[in-house]
Amino acid sequence: MLERLSINNIALIEKEEIEFGKGLNILSGETGAGKSMIIDSLNFVLGERTGRDIVRKGQDKAWVEAVFSFNDRTVLKQLQDMDIESEDGTVVIKRVLTSEGKSSSRINGSNVTAAMLKQLSESFIDIHGQHEHQSLLNPARHMDLLDKFCGAPLENLKAEMAEIIKKYKNILSGIEELSGDDDERAQKIEMLMFRIGEIDDAALTVGEEEVLAERKQVLNNAEKIKKYTNECLKLLYYGGEKGQGAMDSIGECVKSMGSVSNIDTSAGEIYDMICDVEAQLDETVKSLKSYAENISSNEREIEEIEERLDLIYHLKRKYGNTVEDILKYREKCQSELDFIINSEEALKRLKEEKAVLFARIKDICDGMDKIRVSTAAVIEEKIETQLKDLEMKNARFKISVTKKDTFNSKGCNVVEFLITPNAGEDLKPLAKIASGGEMSRVMLALKTVIANADCIETFIFDEIDTGVSGITAQKVAEKMALISKERQILCITHLPQIAAMADNHFLIEKTVNDGKTVSGVRQLNVDGSIDEIARLIGGEKTELVEMTAEEMKMKAEKYKDML
């Protein structure tokens, strides 16, 4: 239920806070007073796209806040999925729009998108504006309206259908690929075999590129390496101009320390350490000599390494950034080649899978059709009953459910609403038969039936009484009063019969303050409501009109007490 609506700087509304109640909430006022701005504000806060021109002139921003309360588990689950907390079933929605056109929205303090707002609001509020007459005339919308009544069985089939169609399309793509031109297939096989062969001929190994690059660096610096190695050998073994090598010096140390240890046994440990150094140095010199003997600048080996690296670089440019990527690409080509070579078997398998899925799609379509046909029969009867209550006593309403050859995620049905308002006439599409007043009553009949089948708590009607007058207006008023026993209704009206049924009556007025036009809202008490009903009856306030308005209000209250 919508409990409160706060509006700030929306068009002619400067600042208003409206406390709505249960039952039938009526909004009335002079033409142009700003009644539709209330509905526009509600549409805005619930995520409908709007332009920055709704921001009141001279203001930097406009904002609307709506407070709802409910216990519907569907809405609570949606909030939970959005990671939004809700205490005691209360939801506070706020949306801000700047004069530059920037919009932001929050639910219970959490930032959300306009799309999230619309998705959530569809679960607990149904806004019927004057434009919805046009949507009712559009047969493309009729299936969605019928499906609202079909419930979980149909929704489950739709969900399964969506998954199967996704698989079915993938299979069709596979079949199309395998059923291609023989020349194209031969060309593809040749291309894949060439790529696989080119990679296989290279006999690549992971890490090879790094090893080759390091070996190339060594070969290119062979002379420099040989120079430094020989200098080390001179210092350690051969000796040079500055004297004997380190090996000879260590040898002399061993002799001298050996003599010391013979005299003083406590020097034995030092002697052993020097002997270890001599042994390690001897091994080092041997390794260094071996390394020096193998140093060479082999031009042929350098050329071979460069050729190998060029080959690797060439393959990297074609097939991947690394050797690992190239090898993975080779496996991909092999898989694709195997798939094409075995295409006859694969094509046979895909066609078998297609047949199985198509059979299931046909079963689902038949299931959807049965649900819609049986539901349509029930709805037809209910809507005809409602239309009779709304003074369309001879009207016949038919929901045509037929099958087409093609299918989509909604099945293969074509749904269209047909009506004849008069006895003896053929059923025809709504667009060809219904007047404005009849459209209003058909829509109200639909909403009445939907109210009994849906969990939506709040219905909003923006001048649904278009083209209605006299006894029909009274029937429309009574129907709204009936719906409002179980659902909250907000209704903008010009009809005194509907206004008289109000549980909560709000007057929208336009005034001029300091040269600025402002629309305001005030809740009327019983006397104020009667005065407004009188205005709706006759415009000019007379004693007779006031008495009529008072009597109308009294009868409305008695009617509601009997419901």
One-character DSSP codes across 232-273: HHIIIII-BTTB--HHHHHHHHHHHHHHHHHH-GGGHHHHHH
Report the share of the chain in percent with pLDDT over 70. 95
The per-residue pLDDT for range 263-320, each reduced to its tens digit, is: 888 888 888 898 988 889 888 888 888 887 777 767 777 777 788 888 888 888 888 8
Amino acid at 532: E
Rounded CA separation 390/382 (Å): 13
CA 28 to chain centre: 38
| Residue pLDDT, tens place only, 101-110 | 899 999 998 8
Judged against a pLDDT cut of 80, whether residue 361 lies above it is answered with yes
Contact between 364 and 411 under an 8 Å Cβ cutoff? The reply is: yes
Q: Which pLDDT value is given to residue 463?
A: 67
Which pairing describes strands 61-69 and 2-10: parallel, antiparallel, or unpaired? antiparallel
Q: Please return the burial class of 77, using the count of CB atoms within 10 Å of its CB with bins 0-12, 13-18 and 19+.
A: exposed
For the ranges 39-48, 59-68, 133-142, 151-160, the lowest mean pLDDT is seen at: 133-142
Among the ranges given (416-425, 432-441, 489-498), the one the predictor scored with the smallest mean pLDDT: 432-441
Residue 198 has pLDDT above 80, yes or no: yes
Residues pairing with 460 in the sheet: 127, 490
pLDDT category at 390 given cuts 50, 70, 90 is confident
Decide if pLDDT at 541 tops 90.
no
Q: Read off the tokens for 23.
A: 């039952």
Angle, to 10 degrees, between the axis of helix 470-483 and the axis of helix 343-389?
A: 120
pLDDT-derived band at 128 (thresholds 50, 70, 90) equals low
The token pair that represents 553 in the structure block = 């209000």
What's the pLDDT at 159?
94
Residues 471 and 393: their CA atoms lie apart, in Å, by 13
In the predicted structure, residue 192 carries a pLDDT above the cut 70: yes
- Given a cut of 90, whether residue 404 has pLDDT beyond it is yes
Concatenated DSSP letters for 356-408?
Answer: HHHHHHHHHHHHHHHHHHHHHHHHHHHHHHHHHHTT-TT-EEEEEEEEEEEEE
Return d(Cα 16, Cα 24) in angstroms, integer.
20
| Greater model confidence, 51 or 124 | 51
pLDDT of 65 strictly over 90: yes
Separation between Cα atoms, residue 65 and residue 42, nearest integer Å:
9
Confidence band, pLDDT 50/70/90 cuts, at residue 376: very high
pLDDT of residue 136: 66
pLDDT at 464: 72
Q: Strand order in 411-420's β-sheet?
A: 396-408, 411-420, 428-429
Strand partners, 25: 490, 504
Question: Measured over all CA atoms, what is the biggest interatomic distance in the chain, rounded to whole angstroms?
Answer: 146
Q: Is the pLDDT of residue 560 over 90?
A: yes
- Tokens of residue 267, six digits: 């020097």
d(C-alpha 560, C-alpha 563), whole Å: 5
Contact (CB, 8 A) for 494 and 536: yes
What pLDDT is stored for residue 455 in this prediction? 65
Q: Which residue has the tokens 């390496």?
A: 225
Distance (Å, rounded) from C-alpha 23 to C-alpha 131? Answer: 24
Res. 64: pLDDT tops 90: yes
Residues 503, 25: contact at Cβ < 8 Å?
Answer: yes
CA distance 329 to 546: 88
Q: Please provide the size of the chain in residues.
A: 563
The whole-number average pLDDT for the span 332-337 is 89
Highest mean pLDDT among 245-249, 342-346, 484-488: 484-488
Q: How many alpha carbons fall within 13 Å on the CB side of residue 21? A: 12
Which tokens in the block code for residue 175? 């079949």
Taking 60 as the threshold, does the pLDDT of residue 130 lie above it?
A: no
- 413 phi/psi in degrees, rounded to 5: -85, 150
DSSP 418-436: EEESSTTPPPEEHHHH--H
| In contact, 553 and 530? CB cutoff 8 Å | yes
Q: Where in the chain is the domain with CATH 3.40.50.300?
A: 1-124+456-479+503-541
For every residue of 44-79, DSSP letters joined together read HHTT----GGGBPTT-SEEEEEEEEE---HHHHHHH
- Integer-rounded Cα radius of gyration of the chain: 44
- Check residue 25 and give its pLDDT: 96
Vertex 26, ends 24 and 28: CA angle to 5°?
Answer: 170
CA distance 158 to 164: 10
Q: Percent of the chain, pLDDT > 90?
A: 38
Say if residues 148 and 450 touch (Cβ distance below 8 Å): yes
**Cβ-contact 432, 461 below 8 angstroms:** no
Cβ distance 352 to 358 under 8 Å?
Answer: no
> To the nearest whole number, what is the mean pLDDT of the chain?
86
C-alpha–C-alpha distance, residues 381 and 387, integer Å = 10
Q: pLDDT tens digit string along 488-520?
A: 999 999 999 999 999 999 999 999 888 888 999
The CA-CA-CA angle for residues 398, 403, 405, to 5°, reads 155
Tokens of 242: 């500055």
Q: Which structure tokens are listed for 85?
A: 């907390």
Question: Is-above-0.75 flag for pTM?
Answer: no
Q: What is the CATH number of domain 1-124+456-479+503-541?
A: 3.40.50.300
Instruction: Give the pLDDT score at 94.
Output: 95
For residue 66, is pLDDT > 90? yes
Cα 209 from chain centroid? Answer: 46
Closest CA to 490 of 482, 502, 500: 502
**Can you state the angle between helices 142-178 and 436-453, rounded to 10 degrees?**
80
Residues 6+ apart with CB under 8 A from 491: 24, 25, 26, 27, 460, 461, 464, 480, 498
14-23, 67-76, 358-367, 379-388: range with lowest mean pLDDT: 67-76
Mean pLDDT across the stretch 39-58? 89
Residue 20: phi and psi, rounded to 5, are: -85, 155
